[in-house]
């Protein structure tokens, strides 16, 4: 099932990247992958207004609406790493502010998604890619 989780995640990411305008609600089709009781741990996100733990699909979609509303554009390269029932997403991200037009390099970070029965049940943000890999029992 682990490679299936990687492919589920990849399909959602590619759909997100192809979505066009960040303000469009259909950009949030990511929610199709979320378990109704997902726990979204964004407590390490370095943006105080949205840092925290979100529970439930609607709450997580609210996180995404808040995050995406700040950006005119968002681009990233990524690599997915199979870790059994978890998938590590290694990311290098850049954005442009919606109101300022300023380019921001968010840099390299990681996400770890845990899957059960084809749905994401837990997600966690890591500022360090090596910490994320260690958390799933892998190393760089």
pLDDT in tens, 75-132: 899 999 999 999 999 999 999 998 999 999 988 999 999 999 999 999 999 999 999 9
Higher-pLDDT residue of 58 and 124 is 124
Strand positions, DSSP E, 1-140? 34-41, 53-55, 71-83, 86-97, 103-116, 119-126
Region 31-51: mean pLDDT is 90
pLDDT of residue 24: 57
pTM of the model: 0.90
Beta bridge partners of residue 124, listed in sequence order: 41, 112
Give all domains of the chain, ordered by start, each with its CATH number: 2-131 (3.10.450.50)
């Amino acid at each position: 099932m682990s490679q299936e989780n990687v492919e589920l995640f990849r399909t959602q990411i590619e759909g997100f990247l192809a979505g066009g305008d960040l303000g469009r609600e259909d950009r949030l089709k990511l929610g199709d992958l979320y378990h109704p009781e997902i726990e979204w741990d964004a407590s390490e996100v370095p943006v105080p207004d949205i840092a925290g733990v979100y529970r439930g699909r609607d709450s997580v979609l609210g996180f995404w609406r808040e995050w995406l509303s700040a950006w005119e554009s968002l681009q990233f390269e990524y690599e997915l790493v199979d870790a059994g029932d978890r998938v590590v997403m290694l990311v290098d991200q850049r954005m442009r502010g919606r109101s300022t037009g300023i380019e921001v390099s968010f840099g390299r970070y990681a996400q770890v998604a845990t899957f059960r029965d084809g749905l994401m049940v837990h997600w966690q943000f890591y500022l360090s890619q090596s910490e994320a890999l260690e958390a799933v029992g892998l190393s760089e």
